[in-house]
Amino acid sequence: MDSLIFDSHAHYDDEAFDSDREELLASLPQKGVCHVINAGASLKGSAASIALAEKYDFIHAAAGIHPEDAFGLPEDWQEQLSQMLSHPKVVALGEIGLDYHYEDACPREIQQQVFEAQLRMAKERDLPVIVHDREAHGDVMALLEKYRPRGVVHCFSGSAEMAREVVALGMYIGLGGAVTFKNARRPLEVAAIVPPDRLLNETDAPYMAPVPYRGKRCDSTLIPYSAAKIGDIRGVPAAEVLRWGRQNAAELFGITL
Ligand code: NI
């Protein structure tokens, strides 16, 4: 079987998988999944991400500090992260970025400092970044333009215009379950215009399960539902969308298919 599913963003270290993680992960390669990038969100989550990548050939790790975890970091967080980035199965720095959704979460200045520090680390190491942008489009774009990293804006929620700007910077657009949601408008506009060589498929598992599984626990085997929706909009079969995403992710993260 031709395994077409490259999940460019998942969190299998999440507690939602505590009851059956080993069983589920062991089953993925038989269900059409060729590779998964497991994204870290904290120092602890990044270490867990690396542990999964050590255990499973098809899992690769990203290590980084998510904006919601940017508050109260230990003084030596950059050294700790830096050490993790040297691990042979770490293929990206992420997920990192800005999240202005919750007013009382991590203060914006701290989020920005931690994001910038990680953008610099990625540049120094020539590592791609996995960017989280929630209700912070203007500030995220300004920093991407300043540092011009390689990488992807995952779970892309910006406008088609912003998608064009991200692509013009040479970056990729990650699309997942949100394209299937009933109220989806922007993700569909973006899905219609993203160049085939700039699209990544993703889940954000355990979150963002596509319709008809919306609200349930998500895993990489559900990617064909969002690929089918993107394919509908573009007039190509889901398999074609999966092939685009697989090729692009392999190139961005330096993974041999
Ligand atoms: Ni995520």
How far apart are the CA of 95 and the centre of ligand 1, in A?
A: 7
CATH number at residue 237: 3.20.20.140
Q: Which domain holds residue 25?
A: 5-253
How far apart are the CA of 11 and the centre of ligand 1, in A?
A: 7
pLDDT attached to residue 8: 98
What's the total number of domains in the chain?
Answer: 1
pTM, two decimals, is 0.97
Contact between 179 and 231 under an 8 Å Cβ cutoff? The reply is no
How far apart are the CA of 24 and the centre of ligand 1, in A?
A: 19
CA atoms of 68 and 66, how far apart (whole Å): 5
Neighbours of 104 (CB within 10 A): 5
pLDDT attached to residue 98: 97
pLDDT attached to residue 1: 56
Taking a 5 Å cut-off on Cβ, the residues next to ion ligand 1 are: 204
Taking alpha carbons only, the member of 212, 141, 214, 133 closest to residue 174 is 133
Contact between 3 and 147 under an 8 Å Cβ cutoff? The reply is no
How far apart are the CA of 170 and the centre of ligand 1, in A?
A: 21
How far apart are the CA of 39 and the centre of ligand 1, in A?
A: 6
Give every CB contact of residue 51 below 8 A, 6+ residues apart in sequence.
13
How far apart are the CA of 165 and the centre of ligand 1, in A?
A: 22
- pLDDT (tens digit, 0 to 9) for every residue of the chain, 257 residues total? 589 999 999 999 999 999 999 999 999 999 999 999 999 999 999 999 999 999 999 999 999 999 999 999 999 999 999 999 999 999 999 999 999 998 778 999 999 999 999 999 999 999 999 999 999 999 999 999 999 999 999 999 999 999 999 999 999 999 999 999 999 999 999 999 999 999 999 999 999 999 999 999 999 999 999 999 999 999 999 999 999 999 999 999 999 99
CA atoms of 28 and 220, how far apart (whole Å): 8
- SS3 state at 13: coil
Q: Give the 3-state DSSP-derived string for 34-85, with helices as H, strands as E and coil as C.
A: EEEEEECCCHHHHHHHHHHHHHCCCEEEEECCCHHHCCCCCCCHHHHHHHHH
- SS3 state at 116: helix
The amino acid at 135 = E
Q: Output the CA angle 97-100-103, nearest 5 degrees.
A: 140
How far apart are the CA of 156 and the centre of ligand 1, in A?
A: 11
How far apart are the CA of 146 and the centre of ligand 1, in A?
A: 23
pLDDT attached to residue 122: 98
CA atoms of 226 and 219, how far apart (whole Å): 12
How far apart are the CA of 233 and the centre of ligand 1, in A?
A: 25
How far apart are the CA of 144 and the centre of ligand 1, in A?
A: 18
